[in-house]
Amino acid sequence: MALPSERSASVDALVIGAGPAGLASATRLKRLGLARVVVIDRELEAGGIPRHCGHSPFGMREFGRVLTGPAYARRLTDAARRAGVELMLGNTVVAIDTGKPLVATCTSSEGIVRIAAKRIILATGVREMPRAARLVSGDRPIGVLNTGALQAYAYLQHLAPFRRPVIVGTELVSLSSLLTCRKIGARPVAMIEERSGPTTRRLFMGLPRLLGVPVLYGTRITDIRGMHRVEAVTLSGADGKRQDIECDGVLFTGRFTPDAPLARAAGLDIDSRTGGPTIDQFARTSEPRIFAAGNVLHPVETAGWSWREAVRVADFVAADLGGWLPSPENAITLTPGDGVRYVVPQRIVRGPGGLPHIQLRATGDVSGALVACSKGQRLRTQPMTSGPERRILAPLAAFRQADSDITFSFDNRRSTASRSDATCV
Amino acid sequence: MSIADVAIVGAGVVGCAMARRFALEGAKVVLLERGADLLSGASKANSAILHTGFDAPPGSVELSCMQAGYAEYQAIRESFNLPLLETGAMVVAWSDAEKAALDGIEAQARANGIHDVRRLTASEIRAREPQLSHRALEALLVPGEHVIDPWSPFLAYLLQAKSHGAEIRFATEVISGGFDGDIWTLQTSTGEQRARTVINCAGLFGDRLDARLLGTASFQIRPRKGQFVVFDKAAAALLRTIVLPVPSERTKGVVLTRTAFGNLLVGPTAEEQQDRERATVVDDTLRGLIARAVEMIPALADAGVTAVYAGLRPATEEKHYRISAHPDRNWITVGGIRSTGMTASLGIAQHIYKLYEEMGHRHVPVAAPATPRVPNLAEHEPRDWQSAGYGEIVCHCEMVTLREIEQALSGPLAPGNFGGLRRRTRCGMGRCQGFYCNARLAQLTAGHFASPLAVGDAA
């Protein structure tokens, strides 16, 4: 690979992030005939988060078979290489200049490289919310970490950060952390959840039962103790009851948040609900030459979902280079209302094509209907029952003709037939 | 066993500056620290402001030490590669009562020799700090207040002391001792240490050390906890000038300031407690600090929290420094060095050396002091990743390189624990708090710390 020895380079598309979304979009762009497509990643190995998810299932959507995360990451990487994608690993993008042309400044051990790109795709992914940002009380000893770090201990370094952790959260990733704990020989002493029921589907909660890990709902962690390493935590129930549990670690799982400092630094408009850049239905950010794909847009989706979405985003980038995308001007905005945590894309423009779905998340359990309103009128009522952290989709086609801003909210009453439009205002 | 000229007890900000000063003056120094690393106690948490002393008690030892410390830091910082983020500070009045207090603060600043202070009207404040709440009524601008890296200077001072023969013993607690009229024999957790003079810089344990070895303590430590919240780097663009409150009798109050590392910091609280070891963060208090910060800068409502921390200041039953010399016992106590200690440390060391000379001791100063340069951690000066050959970036949030981590781990004053490595490099201190780098750091630091990151191999 010639790039790092060049002090500057010029490419058709620069993809930032070599996870499932980044690799998928780059591979697709090469197959569509772009001459020079570069994927840059700050890690020394491509593949992103799946590299350290030793568990299945990955790859059903992409390769039609069940793979572990590392095997899946290798296949995505091999596919990109075979398609002619240039991988710049161990390279960190430190700035994006949105002048003409777009220029990304990258650093590696070999020095600084400036890459002029016709288009950029941000695929920087997500991470979990750490203990500090959750404002959890107590000492700050060693042994408090997120699932991503635990996986890296287990699958990349073959080390154990603890033996008897308390696991905080009941998202899908929380369950995967149980498997990772098993892998390193750790026996979680409890899994706790602030809500009165699991965040993920109740069905999946058979796993902690199977592994003999007690699950405590309506429970918060209110103190962490330990001078050097975690020694104990205090758990507080909704009823005000407290109990001290001895443990040697605390694992904070889930509460994903996009890793978007680069998007912020580039001056892109950021959605405070997702924490990632805002986009239109063609995945164009507020700087229309910069696109975004994957979990940087929507915490959090599966690798397979991000992969498929990124393939589509590659199509939009290619169409844009051909001059075939509609103008990004005069977009209408999509905003979350009652019961809706976020809506992606955040705006739509007039014109055919684009992502087929609007993706939403509920703030909690919902049972009733997803209602889309514009100018006081109900555009669409979609009956549904859902919960937090579940994929909720609305067909984009239903809103193509809208000519003013749309608010999505949940109407928790079951009878949705012909109610007043008062809730729509 | 050889006899040291001075045994300095405590490697906090005061002890480190003390070790440097005495080593430069030609004394044979031993520094005894109970923690696994320097800055393990009160000194590890502060707001990192280099104060002018504008609001210190006029005529006090504290004021003269702060001003001497401020001047010496400015004089030596470049030779050690130590940063200075020139921000200035504003004492902001948010109410009429506070506005009325500004006259007194300005008069005190001038009495303390700070003549470049000036008043800012509400519109001048707005022009200078457009993100600051428009509720700010008036302010006193103190141009000389700045921000520094709160850890690297003390590493630099110890490196310099070490290069002039100082012996630095971490994980060494002084348990007891006896004075034979000429020599102190200290019993420590790692063996005996003899010294002609003892300087008590034991911070939160200063009164106990006096009581244990002198038989009596002239003051009592009353630990005062301060909690802090560090906002994400994106928030640093919201403020240039340090925002100080109109102080109360007890504390300098909650400060909003940029850090040398490119973040925005709010804190500290001032909470009395008995415990001298545990400084816990408390969720409701942190939320209160964030609310206070958002009151001052409304745009902070959307800012992410990168880190939270808490520390203990070695306050005593009185506000002033508790410095006392005991010539008949070859003993000097440097106690009750609270919030201003980081600024004053170099000045305190000068002051104590004078006291020591007055006790009749003389040495031949080092003719050509070595000035070991420490790695720059400040964001406004060139970082290691900006020069090629760094290997890889290990901590992406703080852009810490493999080269920096390897140098810290193999250096002449290698960290004794993970906190020490964090303070030397900033690794793991960013917004992800180790999501990406913690496991790699566990691998890189294996075998280095008594409290390792990994408890063992994956089974």
Give A277-311 pLDDT, tens digit per residue: 999 999 999 999 999 999 999 999 999 999 999 99
A154 and A227 in a single domain? The answer is yes
pLDDT score, position B250? 62
B245 and B290 in a single domain? The answer is yes
pLDDT score, position A416? 42
CATH of the domain at B134: 3.30.9.10
Q: How confident is the model at residue A414 (pLDDT cuts 50, 70, 90)?
A: low
A204 CB-near residues (< 8 Å, 6+ apart):
A172, A175, A198
Touching B: A residues 42-81, CB under 8 Å? 42, 44
B137 and B235 in a single domain? The answer is yes
**Residue A81 in this model has a pLDDT that exceeds 50:** yes
Contact B426, B153 (CB under 8 A): no
Does any domain span residue A159? Answer: yes
A366 and A385 in a single domain? The answer is yes
DSSP letters for B35-94: SSSTT-SGGGS---EE---TTSPTT-HHHHHHHHHHHHHHHHHHHHT---B---EEEEE-
Q: If you average pLDDT over residues A94-119, what whole number do you get?
A: 97
A73 and A148 in a single domain? The answer is no
pLDDT tens digits for range A312-341: 999 999 999 999 999 999 999 999 999 999
Length of chain A: 425
**Residue A256 in this model has a pLDDT that exceeds 80:** yes
Query: Which residues on A lie below 8 Å from B171 (Cβ)?
Result: none
Q: How far is A382 from A61, CA to CA, in rounded Å?
A: 26
The two three-digit tokens of residue A255, written as one number: 């509460």
Q: If you average pLDDT over residues A138-153, what whole number do you get?
A: 97
Q: How far is B198 from B330, CA to CA, in rounded Å?
A: 6
B75 CB-near residues (< 8 Å, 6+ apart):
none
B250 and B399 in a single domain? The answer is no
pLDDT score, position A61? 86
A171 and A287 in a single domain? The answer is no
B248 and B260 in a single domain? The answer is yes
Nearest-Cα residue of chain B relative to residue A224: B280
* C-alpha gyration radius of chain B: 22
**Residue A421 in this model has a pLDDT that exceeds 80:** no
Do B451 and A228 count as a contact with CB atoms less than 8 A apart? yes
**Residue B311 in this model has a pLDDT that exceeds 90:** yes
Share of chain B above pLDDT 90, in %: 97
A249 and A365 in a single domain? The answer is no
Share of chain A above pLDDT 90, in %: 90
DSSP letters for B413-432: T--SSHHHHHHHH-TT-STT
A26 and A88 in a single domain? The answer is yes
Contact B119, B102 (CB under 8 A): yes
A47 and A110 in a single domain? The answer is yes
- Number of domains chain A contains: 3
Nearest to B456 by CA among A218, A229, A367: A229
CATH of the domain at A193: 3.50.50.60
Interface predicted TM-score (ipTM): 0.96
In angstroms, the separation between the Cα of residue B439 and the nearest Cα of chain A is 5
Q: Is A422 helix (H, G, I), strand (E, B) or coil?
A: helix
Do A158 and B386 count as a contact with CB atoms less than 8 A apart? no
A349 and A362 in a single domain? The answer is yes
Q: How confident is the model at residue A5 (pLDDT cuts 50, 70, 90)?
A: low
Does any domain span residue B433? Answer: yes
**Residue A82 in this model has a pLDDT that exceeds 90:** yes
DSSP letters for B328-345: GGTEEEEE---TTHHHHH
Does any domain span residue B83? Answer: no
Amino acid found at B336:
G
pLDDT tens digits for range B151-172: 999 999 999 999 999 999 999 9
Structural domain span for residue B230? 89-143+222-313
Amino acid found at A204:
F
**Residue B307 in this model has a pLDDT that exceeds 70:** yes
pLDDT score, position A55? 78
- Domain final residue pick, A325, A349, A384: A325
Residue A79 DSSP one-character state: H
B120 and B267 in a single domain? The answer is yes
A134 and A120 in a single domain? The answer is no
Q: If you average pLDDT over residues A116-126, what whole number do you get?
A: 98
Does any domain span residue B378? Answer: no
The two three-digit tokens of residue B182, written as one number: 């000429």
pLDDT tens digits for range A166-184: 999 999 999 999 999 999 9
Contact B207, B340 (CB under 8 A): no
B216 and B227 in a single domain? The answer is no
B17 and B132 in a single domain? The answer is no
Strand partners, A291: A121, A284
pLDDT tens digits for range B220-279: 999 999 999 999 999 999 999 999 999 876 666 899 999 999 999 999 999 999 999 999
CATH of the domain at B331: 3.50.50.60
B305 and B430 in a single domain? The answer is no
Does any domain span residue A342? Answer: yes
B242 and B183 in a single domain? The answer is no
Q: How confident is the model at residue B1 (pLDDT cuts 50, 70, 90)?
A: low
Nearest to A219 by CA among A232, A242, A237, A240: A237
Do A137 and B234 count as a contact with CB atoms less than 8 A apart? no
Contact A282, A316 (CB under 8 A): yes
Structural domain span for residue A365? 336-424
**Residue A423 in this model has a pLDDT that exceeds 60:** no
Residue B286 contacts A where some CB pair is shorter than 8 Å: yes
- Domain final residue pick, A254, A274, A289: A254
Q: If you average pLDDT over residues B293-301, what whole number do you get?
A: 97
A363 and A317 in a single domain? The answer is no
Rounded alpha-carbon distances, angstroms, from residue B308 to A139, B45, B263, B313: 11, 11, 12, 17
> Buried (b) or exposed (e) across B428-445, using 16+ Cβ within 10 A?
bbbbbbbbbbbbbbbebb
pLDDT tens digits for range B324-355: 999 999 999 999 998 899 999 999 999 999 99
Residue A146 contacts B where some CB pair is shorter than 8 Å: yes
B130 and B227 in a single domain? The answer is yes
In angstroms, the separation between the Cα of residue B279 and the nearest Cα of chain A is 7
pLDDT tens digits for range A193-241: 999 999 999 999 999 999 999 999 999 999 999 999 999 999 999 888 9
User: CA torsion sign, B95 to B100 to B102 to B108?
Assistant: negative
Contact B345, B13 (CB under 8 A): yes
Nearest to B205 by CA among B45, B33, B18, B330: B33
pLDDT score, position A419? 46
**Residue A1 in this model has a pLDDT that exceeds 70:** no
Do A153 and B433 count as a contact with CB atoms less than 8 A apart? no
**Residue A417 in this model has a pLDDT that exceeds 80:** no
Size of interface A-B (CB pairs under 8 A): 145
Does any domain span residue B191? Answer: yes
Touching B: A residues 98-137, CB under 8 Å? 107, 109-112, 127-128, 130-133, 135-137
> Buried (b) or exposed (e) across A186-220, using 16+ Cβ within 10 A?
bebbbbbbebeebbbeeeebebbeeeebebebebb
Characterize the bridge pairing of strands B3-9 and B49-50: unpaired
Nearest to A368 by CA among A326, A295, A330, A423: A423
A232 and A317 in a single domain? The answer is no
Do A135 and B281 count as a contact with CB atoms less than 8 A apart? yes
Amino acid found at A384:
M
Q: Is A57 helix (H, G, I), strand (E, B) or coil?
A: coil
In angstroms, the separation between the Cα of residue B394 and the nearest Cα of chain A is 9
A155 and A215 in a single domain? The answer is yes
Q: What's the mean pLDDT when you consider all of chain B?
A: 96
Does any domain span residue A331? Answer: no
Residue A326 DSSP one-character state: P
- Number of domains chain B contains: 3
Q: How confident is the model at residue A422 (pLDDT cuts 50, 70, 90)?
A: very low
Do A259 and B432 count as a contact with CB atoms less than 8 A apart? yes
Q: Which stretches of A293-375 are assigned E, i.e. beta strand?
A: 332-336, 340-344, 347-348, 357-362, 366-374
B138 and B200 in a single domain? The answer is no
- Domain final residue pick, A271, A295, A325: A325
Do A153 and B458 count as a contact with CB atoms less than 8 A apart? yes
Closest partner CB to B434 (pick from A135, A139, A145): A145
Q: Is B213 helix (H, G, I), strand (E, B) or coil?
A: helix
Does any domain span residue B263? Answer: yes
Does any domain span residue A330? Answer: no
B388 and B433 in a single domain? The answer is yes
Residue A183 contacts B where some CB pair is shorter than 8 Å: yes
